[in-house]
C-alpha cells in the first residue's frame, strides 16, 4: 500500500519546502503619509517627533530636535497655531484627535527650560543673504539659511523682532518671554538683526547681497469709509495692538465696538475688556457660521463676556453712539442692506477689517508682479526678479504664523539651491494614510486631555496667558495616543501572526523587520493585522 505523501518526507525541518514559490502577491513594508504631516503648513514631521516624545525623558529632546529640522518655533507654535494637523488626525474618527499642539508646546517649553540649542554643522558658504522683515517668515528663513552655512542679515523696520507674533498677537495668547527665547536662539546661530532699519529702496540694496528674501508682514489696517462726527473716536485694531505692545495704552472708554469678524477683531475686543471696558461688542455683517475667526478664538471671546451683533453694519459714527443697519444674506450668502436702522452706544469704534502689506519698497524693482496687494511668486518662492524671493503675508497664500514659517523654510531651501546652482530634488509624497488603512481594533480607548485655562476673573483683569500647558505626565499620555498612521512602530504584530515564520526581526535602528520571500506565501495576514497600515500587498512579478 502506498503511504500518504505527508509521511513520505524525510525526517527534518519543514523549512526544506520553500512555500514562497506559491506566492502571487508579496507583502511590502511601506511608509504612507500621515495625515497630520500632510496638513501641516510648516511641513513638520509630526508623527516622527511624536514617536520620539512617546518615550519621555531623553525622548523629549529628540522630539524637539526633529521639530527644529523644520520649525524653529515649537513653543510659539504650541500657542498660536490653529493646528490643522488635528483636524486631519485619523484618531478624530475613533474618539478625539491627538492634542498635537499641546504636546508641541510642552516640548518647546521644555527646550527653553533646559536650554537646548542648535548649531551650524556645515562650513560657511561665503554667500550673504538679506532678509527683509523679522516676522515669522523672515526669521524662519534666516534660521534655515544660517544652518545651511550662509551669512544672514535681517532688517526690521520696527523696534523689536517678531513681526505680527509680537505686534498682532496679544500677550494673553503668546507670552513675550517665550517669543524672546525662541527669537534669541535664531540670533545665536550668528544671524545679524538690524532694528529700526526700514528698507525703502530695494533696488539700491540688491547688489550688496547674493540673494534677498522679502517677508514684509501685513501690518497696515485695511480702511473703509464710514461717516464720522468730529468728536467720534475711531481707531484701527492693528495700530491699537501695536501701540499696546510699545507701551502706549489706548483710551477706549467704557463701551467699545469692534467692526469685523476675523481673529484680529476677537483680539481687539478681548483686549478692550482687559483695558477696562465694561462692554465690548463685535459688529459683524454676516452670521456666526460665516465668521472667518477660528472657533477657539470665538469661544474664548464669548467666555470672556464679549458681545456680538450679527447681520449688522455701521452706517455712521458719532460721539458716544453708532448708527447701525440690519443686513440680510442673499442667495449667494452676500450681505444686503435692509434699511432698518438702529443706534448702538459706543465710546469708541475699533476697525478690524483685515490687513494689507506696505509694498512701497518694491518700487522700481524690475520683473516683480504685484496683483491685488500681493507679490506673485513661483513654486520656488522666487519673484519675477532673479535672486529676490518672497513669502509670508506679502504673497497670495493663507495668512497665519504657521504658513509664514513654512514659507521661510521652503524659500531657504530654494535660495540655497539657487546660490549653489543645484536643482532641488523633487519631494516625493507617498500615499496618504487614510482612516480605512488603520486597524483600530488594536488601539485602546484613550480620552483626549484638554489644556487647562486661566480663571475668568483673572482673564478679565490681566494679560496672563489664557490657555495653559500640560504637565509632563499629561503631555506624555497625549503623545502616546498617536496611531502612527501608515508607518511601522515595531509592535511585532506581523512577526507574531505570520503562519510561515517568514517575518524576521532585524532589531536595527530604522530597520525593524524583513520578509523572507522563500517562505512568504503572500497570504496577506500581516497586512490585515498591521495596526498602522504600514504593510501593503503588491502583485508578484513573474
pLDDT classification of 423: cutoffs 50, 70, 90: confident
Dump pLDDT digits (tens) for 382-405. Answer: 998 999 999 998 888 888 999 999
Beta-carbon contacts of residue 490 (< 8 Å; ≥ 6 apart): 512
Please give the average per-residue pLDDT across 516-536, as a whole number: 92
511 sits in the region (left: phi over 0; alpha: psi -120 to 50; else beta) called: beta
List all residues 6 or more positions away from 78 whose beta carbon is below 8 Å from its beta carbon. 101, 102, 103, 104, 105, 106, 107, 108, 109, 469
Q: How confident is the model at residue 16 (pLDDT cuts 50, 70, 90)?
A: low
Could you tell me the sign of the dihedral formed by the alpha carbons of 144, 146, 149, 152, in that order?
A: positive
Reply yes or no on whether the pLDDT at 34 is more than 80.
yes
* Nearest Cα residue to 178 out of 247, 80, 95, 255: 80
| Residue from 103, 99, 56 nearest 449 by CA | 99
Provide CB contacts within 8 A for 362, sequence distance 6+.
202, 214, 368, 370, 375
pLDDT tier, 510 (very low <50, low <70, confident <90, very high otherwise): low
pLDDT recorded at residue 280: 95
Rounded Cα distance between 342 and 363, Å, is 45
CA angle 392, 356, 344 (to 5 degrees): 130
Enumerate residues 6+ apart whose C-beta is below 8 A from 139.
72, 73, 131, 154, 161, 162, 163, 183, 186, 408
If one counts every other C-beta atom within 10 angstroms of the C-beta of residue 361, the result is 19
Angle at 290 between CA 287 and CA 295, to 5 degrees: 105
Q: Label residue 444 exposed, middle or buried (CB < 10 Å: 0-12, 13-18, 19+).
A: exposed
The predicted-structure confidence for 307-332, as pLDDT tens digits, reads as follows 999 999 999 998 889 999 999 998 88
Mean pLDDT taken over the chain: 90
Q: What is the pLDDT of residues 107-160, one digit of tens each?
A: 999 999 999 999 999 999 999 999 999 999 999 999 999 999 999 999 999 999
Cα gap 451→22, rounded to integer Å: 54
User: Which is higher by pLDDT, 265 or 512?
Assistant: 265
Residue 4: its pLDDT value, please? 52
| Residue 266: pLDDT over 70 | yes
Percent of the chain with pLDDT over 70: 95
Let me know if 483 is exposed, middle or buried by CB neighbors in 10 A (0-12, 13-18, 19+): buried
Cβ-count burial 33-47 (b if 16+ within 10 Å, e if not): bbbbbbebbbbbbbb
Higher pLDDT, 377 or 457: 377
241 grid coordinates: 495692538
* Segment 97-112 mean pLDDT: 97
514 strand-pairing partners: 504
Evaluate the CA torsion angle 62, 65, 67, 72 in order and state its sign.
positive
Q: What is the pLDDT of residue 346?
A: 93
Compute CA distances 63 → 49, 71, 146, 451, whole Å: 4, 12, 21, 20
pLDDT for residue 218: 75
pLDDT of residue 219: 75
What the block records as the C-alpha cell of 63 is: 522630539
% pLDDT > 90, the chain: 70
DSSP state, 531? T
In 3D, which of 59, 42, 41, 29 has the Cα closest to residue 475?
59
Using 50, 70 and 90 to split pLDDT, how confident is the model at 464? very high
Instruction: Read off the pLDDT band of 358 (50, 70, 90).
Output: confident
Strands 535-539 vs 25-29: parallel, antiparallel or unpaired: antiparallel
Q: Is the pLDDT of residue 11 over 60?
A: no
pLDDT in tens, 176-186: 999 999 999 99
Query: Among positive and negative, which fits the CA dihedral 498, 504, 505, 509?
Result: negative
Three-state SS string across 177-229, please?
A: HHHHHHHHHHHCCCCEEECCCCCCCHHHHHHHCCEEEECCCCCEECCCCCCEC
Nearest CA to 22 among 536, 518, 501?
Answer: 518
525 φ, ψ (degrees, to nearest 5): -65, -40
Amino acid at each position: 500500500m502506498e503511504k500518504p505523501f505527508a509521511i513520505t518526507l524525510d525526517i527534518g525541518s519543514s523549512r526544506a519546502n520553500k512555500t514562497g514559490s506559491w506566492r502571487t502577491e508579496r507583502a511590502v513594508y511601506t511608509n504612507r503619509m500621515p495625515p497630520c504631516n500632510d496638513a501641516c503648513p510648516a511641513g513638520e514631521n509630526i508623527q516622527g517627533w511624536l514617536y520620539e516624545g512617546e518615550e519621555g525623558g531623553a525622548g523629549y529632546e529628540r522630539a524637539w530636535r526633529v521639530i527644529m529640522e523644520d520649525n524653529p518655533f515649537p513653543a510659539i507654535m504650541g500657542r498660536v497655531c490653529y493646528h490643522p494637523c488635528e483636524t486631519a488626525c485619523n484618531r478624530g474618527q475613533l474618539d478625539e484627535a491627538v492634542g498635537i499642539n499641546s504636546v508641541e508646546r510642552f516640548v518647546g517649553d521644555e527646550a527653553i527650560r533646559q536650554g537646548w540649542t542648535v548649531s551650524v554643522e556645515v562650513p560657511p558658504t561665503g554667500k550673504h543673504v538679506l532678509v527683509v522683515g523679522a516676522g515669522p517668515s523672515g526669521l524662519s528663513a534666516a534660521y534655515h539659511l544660517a544652518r545651511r552655512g550662509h551669512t544672514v542679515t535681517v532688517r526690521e523696520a520696527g523696534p523689536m523682532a517678531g513681526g505680527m507674533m509680537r505686534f498682532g498677537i496679544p500677550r494673553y495668547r503668546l507670552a513675550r518671554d517665550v517669543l524672546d527665547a525662541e527669537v534669541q536662539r535664531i540670533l545665536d546661530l550668528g544671524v545679524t538683526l538690524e532694528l529700526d532699519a526700514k528698507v525703502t529702496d530695494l533696488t539700491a540694496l540688491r547688489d550688496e547681497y547674493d540673494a534677498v528674501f522679502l517677508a514684509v508682514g501685513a501690518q497696515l489696517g485695511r480702511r473703509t469709509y464710514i461717516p464720522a462726527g468730529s468728536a467720534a473716536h475711531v481707531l484701527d485694531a492693528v495700530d491699537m495692538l501695536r501701540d499696546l505692545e510699545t507701551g502706549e495704552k489706548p483710551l477706549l472708554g467704557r463701551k467699545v465696538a469692534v467692526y469685523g469678524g476675523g481673529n484680529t477683531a476677537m483680539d481687539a475686543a478681548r483686549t478692550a475688556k482687559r483695558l477696562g471696558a465694561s462692554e465690548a461688542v463685535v459688529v459683524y455683517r454676516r452670521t456666526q457660521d460665516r465668521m472667518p475667526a477660528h472657533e477657539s478664538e470665538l469661544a474664548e471671546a464669548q467666555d470672556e463676556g464679549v458681545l456680538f451683533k450679527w447681520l449688522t453694519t455701521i452706517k455712521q459714527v458719532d460721539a458716544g453712539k453708532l448708527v447701525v443697519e440690519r443686513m440680510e444674506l442673499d442667495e449667494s450668502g452676500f450681505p444686503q442692506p435692509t434699511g432698518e436702522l438702529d443706534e448702538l452706544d459706543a465710546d469708541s469704534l475699533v476697525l478690524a477689517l483685515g490687513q494689507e502689506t506696505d509694498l512701497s519698497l518694491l518700487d522700481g524693482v524690475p520683473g516683480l508682479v504685484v496683483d491685488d496687494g500681493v507679490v506673485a511668486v513661483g513654486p520656488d518662492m522666487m519673484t519675477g526678479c532673479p535672486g529676490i524671493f518672497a513669502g509670508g503675508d506679502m504673497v497670495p497664500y493663507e495668512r497665519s504664523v504657521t504658513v509664514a514659517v513654512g514659507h521661510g523654510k521652503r524659500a531657504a531651501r530654494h535660495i540655497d539651491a539657487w546660490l549653489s546652482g543645484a536643482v532641488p530634488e523633487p519631494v516625493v509624497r507617498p500615499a496618504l494614510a487614510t482612516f480605512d488603512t488603520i486597524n483600530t481594533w488594536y488601539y485602546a480607548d484613550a480620552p483626549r486631555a484638554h489644556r487647562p485655562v486661566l480663571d475668568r476673573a483673572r482673564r478679565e483683569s490681566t494679560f496672563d496667558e489664557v490657555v495653559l500647558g500640560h504637565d509632563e505626565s499629561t503631555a506624555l499620555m497625549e503623545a502616546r495616543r498617536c496611531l502612527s498612521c501608515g508607518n511601522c512602530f515595531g509592535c511585532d504584530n506581523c512577526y507574531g501572526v505570520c503562519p510561515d515564520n517568514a517575518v524576521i526581526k532585524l532589531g536595527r535602528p530604522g530597520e525593524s523587520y524583513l520578509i523572507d520571500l522563500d517562505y512568504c506565501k503572500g497570504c496577506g495576514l500581516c497586512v490585515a493585522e498591521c495596526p498602522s497600515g504600514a504593510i501593503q500587498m503588491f502583485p508578484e512579478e513573474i
